[in-house]
Structure 1
């Protein structure tokens, strides 16, 4: 069994523990929390034997092979780098890190220590994305790609009451673009590579953080439009539209539950694929297969693609005047 330590006890850490039984040959043996009470509560809830509040002590634990960095965005780089330097493999939650330079530095540290490093962005590993790649030719010449990921945040009521949580501050790398925009960026870059032009138009709070916005990216012969919101919701959908037809996903590109095709507007939809697995469990199973196969080539190749995504994300933020940290 691969021994994994979870760094953090927030929302995504709890979600992982609820699907851990679907991940092959992984045992969560430790958790890192900000205080003893949080560590004890989380560990007791899920039967985790080891509890830490000191990161150095966790990294000195020789049993631990992997750390899962499920901490606030601004801590990802620091904690991942320290883990790699201590000989641990690392899985880092989205949006990975803040810049291409930080990605390059982490890749260099991983290679120097012969360790694996994974970008935990679910979209990259969802099987229905592969199905879309295989069926892109059916739409003919592509003219427009649309995505929407708009969901009213459980913490936005606090914002409206004047109590601003860290996820809605630029100091903590918060906002709609970094939290939700990372998914459509990964979706579009996975299909088409780096865009020629990137522009993000943001609705901002008084503190300058974006609560929603529209991301436009231009390629040689088509444009992509992504709606992103944490202050409102819609019925999300993704499309790839061309001269000869349209591919549809009936939700955002994080959930990516299905893929269907229409040749003409009045046609019945042809169902191409449905997601049969839990997205989070699926990506962890992908990581563990690469780890067991010692497939460093695939690991580092995926990180090069992550570098492109982070570069796009940074350019989008700069275009809207968003300054993090």
Structure 2
């Protein structure tokens, strides 16, 4: 069944997802929500579609769409996803999906009550090069630790330096380095190694008490995984997974363009394949398969859901550890 797709958000990542969805042949853009009709119409015009533009969320969710892709500011995800679930609409929500475990539990309840799915869009863990990393880990004799790095200068950091308080650098909108960029290396760690025994976050705060960069440490039984991320600088450090002598070297834990296995004895092998032009195709294809054939894909969905829940729990704990509070956090 071709899924009628609705979108919330008119930025670059929404455009990338719609293009990926169309590449799969499993979706057709049917509805676009925007607070402003002009921006919604401009977004819809980028595609050969007769999608209807809505400025009212209730009308949007009751327009006959099968699935919604939510790429609004983080702080809006929960309310929009909840409204979608109540309308019986399948939900794909950008990471970080929800602010804390309390929100996740409420969404989980709504999902079960309305017999629909919730997917967190973590595109990198569905890519072929990520699966190559997982396969190689399974072949290694021992894991000694890992370091994952994702630090990029935000397009809005100049505005922050000029005295403004942009949404993407404002904890009042559930934003910050951990929620926006740290979630990439965190997702990779949990997808590869499971739930850590403990987690700790050393955050560097901006003058608005939002975390601008930081280092998180995930403690496992036999090793640690260090996550380094930030929005106020550019880092070109590679990410690594350490064995004894051998090492997996990753150019970028979010983009995954090149992955190398070094055996520690003078031999290096490229285990990656050329990165896809659109990195969201595989996740879009997987989500459609689960929606259209839920029984056959139940195990795959449960694995996705468990990983998402674990990521949410660790994100919640990391912020608590660093004293970074969102408005939606329990008192």
Do the structures match in fold with TM over 0.5? yes
Aligned to 2:272: 273
In structure 1, how many angstroms separate the alpha carbons of the residues matched to 2:271 and 2:92?
31
Aligned to 2:142: 141
In structure 2, how many angstroms separate the alpha carbons of the residues matched to 1:302 and 1:212?
27
In structure 2, how many angstroms separate the alpha carbons of the residues matched to 1:301 and 1:21?
25
In structure 2, how many angstroms separate the alpha carbons of the residues matched to 1:316 and 1:11?
28
In structure 1, how many angstroms separate the alpha carbons of the residues matched to 2:29 and 2:238?
35
In structure 2, how many angstroms separate the alpha carbons of the residues matched to 1:144 and 1:225?
8
8 Å contact from structure 2 (residues 22, 28) kept in 1: no
Which whole-Å deviations, capped at 9, do the CAs of 1:259-308 have from their partners, x for residues lacking one? 221111x6241112225433212211111121222234432432122111
In structure 1, how many angstroms separate the alpha carbons of the residues matched to 2:144 and 2:247?
10
Aligned to 1:312: 314
8 Å contact from structure 1 (residues 140, 244) kept in 2: no
Within the alignment, does 1:299 sit opposite 2:298 as a pair? Answer: no
Runs of 4+ aligned residues of structure 1 deviating over 3 Å after TM superposition are 17-21
> Per the alignment, in what secondary structure is the counterpart of residue 133 of structure 1?
helix
Aligned to 1:226: 227
| 1:138, distance to aligned residue in structure 2 (A) | 4.1
In structure 1, how many angstroms separate the alpha carbons of the residues matched to 2:237 and 2:48?
36
8 Å contact from structure 2 (residues 17, 284) kept in 1: no
In structure 1, how many angstroms separate the alpha carbons of the residues matched to 2:284 and 2:16?
13
In structure 2, how many angstroms separate the alpha carbons of the residues matched to 1:51 and 1:210?
35
Aligned to 1:92: 93
In structure 2, how many angstroms separate the alpha carbons of the residues matched to 1:168 and 1:258?
30
Question: Structure 1 residues 55 and 97, CA, compared in 2 at 3 Å: closer, same or farther?
Answer: same
8 Å contact from structure 1 (residues 104, 307) kept in 2: no
Moved more, 183-192 or 235-244: 235-244
Aligned to 1:180: 181
CA RMSD of aligned residues (A): 1.7
Aligned to 2:131: 130
TM-score under structure 2 normalisation?
A: 0.92
Aligned to 2:67: 66
Which whole-Å deviations, capped at 9, do the CAs of 1:94-115 have from their partners, x for residues lacking one? 0011122322322222222221
| 1:164, distance to aligned residue in structure 2 (A) | 1.5
| 1:314, distance to aligned residue in structure 2 (A) | 1.0
In structure 1, how many angstroms separate the alpha carbons of the residues matched to 2:99 and 2:274?
30
Moved more, 139-148 or 225-234: 139-148
In structure 2, how many angstroms separate the alpha carbons of the residues matched to 1:208 and 1:201?
13
In structure 1, how many angstroms separate the alpha carbons of the residues matched to 2:175 and 2:136?
35
| 1:255, distance to aligned residue in structure 2 (A) | 0.8
Aligned to 1:43: 44
Question: Structure 1 residues 15 and 41, CA, compared in 2 at 3 Å: closer, same or farther?
Answer: same
8 Å contact from structure 1 (residues 65, 89) kept in 2: yes
Give the alignment of 1:1-325 within 5 angstroms: 1-48=2-49, 49-62=51-64, 64-251=65-252, 253-264=253-264, 267-277=266-276, 278-294=278-294, 295-325=297-327
In structure 2, how many angstroms separate the alpha carbons of the residues matched to 1:137 and 1:297?
20
Which whole-Å deviations, capped at 9, do the CAs of 1:200-250 have from their partners, x for residues lacking one? 111111111111111111112111111101100121422110114111111
| 1:180, distance to aligned residue in structure 2 (A) | 0.5
In structure 1, how many angstroms separate the alpha carbons of the residues matched to 2:114 and 2:303?
17
| 1:20, distance to aligned residue in structure 2 (A) | 4.3
In structure 2, how many angstroms separate the alpha carbons of the residues matched to 1:193 and 1:101?
21
| 1:129, distance to aligned residue in structure 2 (A) | 2.0
Query: Would you say how many aligned residue pairs link Structure 1 and Structure 2?
Result: 322
> Per the alignment, in what secondary structure is the counterpart of residue 37 of structure 1?
helix
